[in-house]
Chain A
């Protein structure tokens, strides 16, 4: 978790793509095939509510971060970029 504090936004995006692929077992997708601004749920990557469970766990286990509620979740889970910004901003506060 400590090394995340040293990472820039681009590195966090890359790390998140790798973690997403691993946690969600997206075997047919490579990290560079996911665009930073690609919509994660519904259209775009096509994730569903059970994938949201895995992302919540991923944020807790890898970054010690919690998503407060659905409203915040909607903003954070929009794309890799919004996820990365959330991780970037909140790991630095800690």
Chain B
């Protein structure tokens, strides 16, 4: 989320909406309850509880259902009215599982999951042969926080471009913003959207992690995604082009209860020299969108966008 000053009113509106929604979901009592459940009955017990919690959200949380609907309608266009609700329910359960996994990692069960990394050697090679750092492009797919832990052994300093979590309970229980290891936070809610810190980090050969699939009011490029044109922010691609550094796509999929597969095989080198960055960068953004599409075709219930990216909400 890199914003021009004239984009900030939209950002604030988006923030206000997000705050209202995020305050509703996840409170300290709920997290404490899940924590106890994990301790007493293990992961599977907590997963079991999710079927009821997700049903509650499906029936009573119209905002949650509505935010999931745009993706479900694009991913399952052939499904009827009730079938779509069933898909949304499965999506809620899947997201709940990955939050529990994250919670379980925070609760010091670090070895609880097997994390297989595809493309690790290639990534290490790229980083070791470049003094310009790299942008790690994350998405609202799978469990990117767990995926990041798999990259600790690269021995590189990682900077996360992320906003402060609005919901205090979520922040404390999921350890959001207090990542362990050599991980630092750059806030996009500062002058120039944090780009000075980003450029300094890249210039020192560090990794900067940026979310690539939601614009939060920032400028975007229009590319094909799941059969229709969607709006993806182009700022990460523009920064990589200016800094002449690679973009590494980070994807992670939960493949079984205790196993994740992290993929870092896709490395892009965007180029852009003109002012029309939204147009010039389309080939690389389209490539990114196509990779995401392949992912959601293989893992339909691991897309946690919860936003209508097909709508031009600049």
Q: In the complex, A47 Cα to B7 Cα: how many Å? A: 12
Residues in B whose Cβ lies below 8 Å from that of A93: none
- A67 contacts partner chain B, Cβ-Cβ < 8 Å: yes
Smallest distance from the beta carbon of A86 to chain B beta carbons, Å?
A: 13
| Residue of A26, A27, A49 most packed against chain B (CB within 10 A) | A49
Number of interface residues of B (CB under 8 A): 28
Main SS of chain B's interface residues? Answer: helix
* Binding stretch for chain B, among A2-10, A11-19, A30-38, A51-59: A51-59
- B277 contacts partner chain A, Cβ-Cβ < 8 Å: yes
Q: Mark B1-38, 1 if CB is under 8 A from A, else 0.
A: 01111110000000000000000000000000000000
- Look across to chain A and name the residue whose beta carbon is closest to the beta carbon of B240: A53
Query: Which B residues between 170 and 198 are near A, CB-CB below 8 angstroms?
Result: 190-198
Interface residues on A, range: 20 to 34
A-B contacts counted at CB < 8 A amount to 76
Smallest distance from the beta carbon of A29 to chain B beta carbons, Å?
A: 11
Is the pair B195, A56 in contact by a Cβ cutoff of 8 Å? yes
Smallest distance from the beta carbon of A93 to chain B beta carbons, Å?
A: 19
- B125 contacts partner chain A, Cβ-Cβ < 8 Å: no
Q: In the complex, A56 Cα to B243 Cα: how many Å? A: 9
- Look across to chain A and name the residue whose beta carbon is closest to the beta carbon of B7: A48
- B106 contacts partner chain A, Cβ-Cβ < 8 Å: no
Q: In the complex, A51 Cα to B118 Cα: how many Å? A: 35
Smallest distance from the beta carbon of B18 to chain A beta carbons, Å?
A: 20
Is the pair A26, B275 in contact by a Cβ cutoff of 8 Å? yes
Interface residues of B (CB under 8 A from A): 2-7, 190-200, 203, 219, 235, 238-239, 242-243, 273-275, 277
Per CB-CB distance, the 5 closest pairs between chain A and chain B, nearest first, are A48-B4, A25-B275, A42-B5, A49-B193, A52-B192
A-B pairs with beta carbons under 8 Å apart, 10 shown: A24-B275, A27-B275, A49-B235, A50-B4, A50-B219, A52-B195, A53-B239, A69-B200, A73-B196, A74-B191
